[in-house]
Structures are given as C-alpha cells and as structure tokens.
Amino acid sequence: MVRMKMSFRWFGEGFDSVKLWQIRQIPGMVGIIGTLYDSKPGEEWDLEAIRNLKKQVNDAGLELLGIESVNIHDAIKAGTPERDRYIRNYIQTIRKLGSEGIHMICYNFMPVFDWTRSDLAKPRPDGSTVLAYDQHRIDQIDPQEMFTRLDGNSNGFVLPGWEPERMAHVKELFDLYRNVTEAQLFDNLVYFLNAIMPACDEFDVNMAIHIDDPCWSVFGLPRIITCKDQLLRLMEAVPNPHNGVTLCTGSLSSNPANDIPDIIRSLKGRIHFAHVRNTRYTAPGVFEEAAHYASDGSLDMYAIVKALVDIGFDGPVRPDHGRAIWGEVAMPGYGLYDRALGSQYILGLYDAITRQ
C-alpha cells in the first residue's frame, strides 16, 4: 500500500517558534519541509548550510522531505535579460539539494508577492483567529500599504514571500512587470522549466509549483497557476514528470469553481507535494481560513484525501495554515497547535479511507 508521508513545514532555528522536538512528538509525523529562510531569491544555496539543515532534521529523528521554497528571482518571472544568470544559480541549487538526497522543491511563480491576505488575525466566534481575504478591502489599498499592514501584524516574524528587503522595492518590482502579460509569464515559466529539467533528471529532483493564492490577479499583476486548465496546460507544455505541482487545497478553494478532487485526479503522477487545509468561502472574492475539520469550512476534506489515495499519491503531505489557538504566539498560520490537530485529522481520514 502506498503511503503519503505526513510532514510539517519548519522555517528553521531562529525563524520558527516551533521546535523540531515538538514536531517529532506529533503522531505519524515523519518529515520536515524545510528551507534556508535567509536565502535571497536568485542566489545559489550554500552546500554546508543545506547539510547543516539536513543534519538538524535527522538528529531530531525526522527526514528532510523537501524544500519550501527555493524562491524564483523576479528576473526569471519577468523574463529580463539577466534571467539566465539566476537560472544557472537555481540549477546549482537543484544539484546540491539532489546530491544531498533532497528530491522535492516547492516554488511559486507569482509576480512580486507570494500569497496575499487582507487580515492575518480575523477573530472567530470561538476566540481563535485566522487569516482572511476580502477583495473589497484589497481594492482600497495599495501594495505598499498592504505590506506595511501585514508586516505590522505578523507577531514579529518575517512572512514567507514578504521579505522586507524585497518589499522595499515594491514600486520597481511593479515596473518590471508593467508589460508582462499572462501569456508571457507562462512562456517565462516554461523557459525556466525547460532550462532546469536536465538537472532535475540527473539528480531526480521533483519541481512542485504552488497554486497562486488567491487564484486570480491581485493588484493588476498577472497570475497563471489558478485552475485545472492552466495546470494541465503547464503539465503538457513541459511533459517531463519532474515538472509537477504542489496541490494546495486552500489556494485552489479561493475560487469555488475549482473542483479540487477532480483536479487531483487529473494530475495523477504529477502531484509531488500536497498542502491540505480547509477554508470557509463567504462570497466571491471573500474567504477566511478554517480548522482542517471539514464541517468547520467549505471543503469536502474526505473527498480530497480520497482523491489523493485513489491516484496513489505517496509524496509528502502537510497540514497548512492553522488557526491561532490556545494563546500561542507564532507566525500567522504557522503555529504548532492547530497544524498538529490538522495533521491528525488528515491521518484519520487517510486511515479510514485506506482500510475500507
């Protein structure tokens, strides 16, 4: 029987409020999805730093199952003449990770920003708080203001994809994309993937693109990894199986037209990593995150896990953004408690499904 591997995202010593020994005590937890959080997009990763990360994880009795993320430099996304230099660095990082036995890289291809939220701590009736998105509120602010707000409400943590050094140049970054259409962004992604596939083949590294979150254009920037058609188009454009997907249920659910179990089935063999979480859909362009437990949100979590089982998914899966509960102070979405609960729910569904 294939078995998906339950894992936990960890930002590294000094960046994460959660400790490896705590993660190790979560039942069924086998691996870590790690990163070098202080690396900058575009730079080649240091081999010693990779080895050190792996050793820390192994010493805690866990396996380093993949990286989230090796971020892509904006020159690659925007397709500027400097992109080849940054692609060469990326290839070097792939080679180093692969040679250290790390075979999955999660990345995204969203211009300027990674994920976007209007609220990092929306109170819920039970006193917990969640991340939330309201397009009407986003429409009233500019990108710089959104960064300032998010940065000021992140409990002192640097949010993934929102590095202050990059955000200091938001205006220039927007200028870079001024003439980049969705079609060009897609071509730039294909160019990047074609360039790195030989290294992925040689070192057996799976590339897993993350779904855009939310999955529509924000602040007028192009977004392309948004739905089944686009995902299949990308899989066909670069048919190498090392070109795959991070199936993020929460991101896909921002658009209720996305039939997530159907998308999972259509990507058989190409899902290299799964982020499983639940959201509560309120109205077009408005949603908030929820507990992983299906009845707490809008997603059919049973059907999602069932689809992963049915396609024989055996890669790493992780609980995703958790609510802030029990007074924990952590990076928004990335505390220990609610993600630990979420992992147990996913494993419970998995056990029940696979025993039927």
Binding site for ligand DNO (CB under 6 A): 68-69, 106-108, 114-115, 160-161, 210, 321, 333
Nearest-approach distance from CB 246 to ligand DNO, in angstroms: 7
Instruction: Considering the complex, state which of residue 230 and residue 354 has its C-beta at the smaller distance from ligand DNO.
Output: 230
Task: State the Cα–Cα distance between residues 347 and 352, nearest whole angstrom.
Answer: 9
Cβ burial of 49 (10 Å; 0-12, 13-18, 19+) is: middle
Instruction: Considering the complex, state which of residue 107 and residue 203 has its C-beta at the smaller distance from ligand DNO.
Output: 107
E strand spans, 146-214: 206-210
Instruction: Considering the complex, state which of residue 96 and residue 275 has its C-beta at the smaller distance from ligand DNO.
Output: 275
Instruction: Considering the complex, state which of residue 66 and residue 333 has its C-beta at the smaller distance from ligand DNO.
Output: 333
Instruction: Considering the complex, state which of residue 66 and residue 125 has its C-beta at the smaller distance from ligand DNO.
Output: 66
Nearest-approach distance from CB 59 to ligand DNO, in angstroms: 25
What separation in angstroms does the CA of 335 have from each of 94, 118, 261, 326, 343?
29, 19, 27, 10, 13
Nearest-approach distance from CB 250 to ligand DNO, in angstroms: 8
Task: State the Cα–Cα distance between residues 77 and 182, nearest whole angstrom.
Answer: 11
Nearest-approach distance from CB 210 to ligand DNO, in angstroms: 4
Nearest-approach distance from CB 351 to ligand DNO, in angstroms: 26
CB 36 within 8 A of CB 45: yes
- Positive or negative, the Cα torsion across 160, 163, 167, 169? negative
Instruction: Considering the complex, state which of residue 96 and residue 210 has its C-beta at the smaller distance from ligand DNO.
Output: 210
Cβ burial of 220 (10 Å; 0-12, 13-18, 19+) is: exposed
Nearest-approach distance from CB 212 to ligand DNO, in angstroms: 8
CA nearest to 284, candidates 150, 133, 146: 133
136: number of Cβ within 10 Å: 10
Nearest-approach distance from CB 70 to ligand DNO, in angstroms: 8
Q: Taking CB positions, which residue lies at the least distance from ligand DNO?
A: 69
What's the chain's Rg over C-alpha atoms?
19
Instruction: Considering the complex, state which of residue 69 and residue 206 has its C-beta at the smaller distance from ligand DNO.
Output: 69
Task: State the Cα–Cα distance between residues 339 and 248, nearest whole angstrom.
Answer: 15
